[in-house]
Amino acid sequence: MENTNINTDQWLTNNKHYVEQREAGTASGISSSMHTVVITCMDCRIMIESALGLKPGQAFVIRNAGNIVTDDVVRSLTLAVQTAGIQEVMVIGHTDCAVGKLDEPAFKTELQQQYPEGVKHDLTPTCFHAFSDVLENVRKQVQTLKSHPYFKNLSSIRGFVYDIRTGKISDINE
């Protein structure tokens, strides 16, 4: 069997260099010195830590396709709020999002045809949360968080859009 892990092997080599250059003390505990969680898309074009000027330990980052507030995002955020004193949440969508272009019914049909056994699997997604308007999607995710009783006492839950072309992050309320 040929090696199909060429990229993974390169990432592990890169990690060796990272370990050699890493500053001592960057793993001093699970917390967020800025008491902030960023919820954003998993799109690999978004280097959110760089775009916000974050350093290790300053903020938790939760990523998924479409920056959707799913059960798992609520689970992760609840843990961060209860154990790390999180007070602020930034929901950051982005332009040119694949989930914003997704034809969900067609995608589900394609999956069912390609993987008929997947329909019966416990972890098969039933919803991919497709949307057509990035601003409306971010507003919806912010509202979902604001209406959740676990997050009523946070000092700030705000929404933003990252422009893939420029890297600019804009407040959805401006």
- Please give the order of strands across the beta sheet that includes 36-41: 59-64, 36-41, 88-94, 156-162, 169-171
**Nearest in space to 61 (alpha carbons), one of 42, 44, 83:** 42
**In sequence order, which ranges of the chain are alpha helices (DSSP H)?**
6-21, 48-52, 71-84, 104-114, 134-146
Q: What confidence score (pLDDT) does residue 89 get?
A: 98
Looking at per-residue confidence, does 2 or 172 come out higher? 172
Return the percentage of the chain with pLDDT > 90, whole number.
67
Largest CA distance in the chain: 55
Does 29-171 carry CATH code 3.40.1050.10?
yes
- Residue 151 CB contacts under 8 Å (≥ 6 apart), including other chains: 77, 81, 89, 145, 157
Tell me: pLDDT of 112 over 50: yes
Give residue limits of the domains in the chain.
29-171
Global pTM value:
0.86
User: Is residue 119's pLDDT more than 60?
Assistant: yes
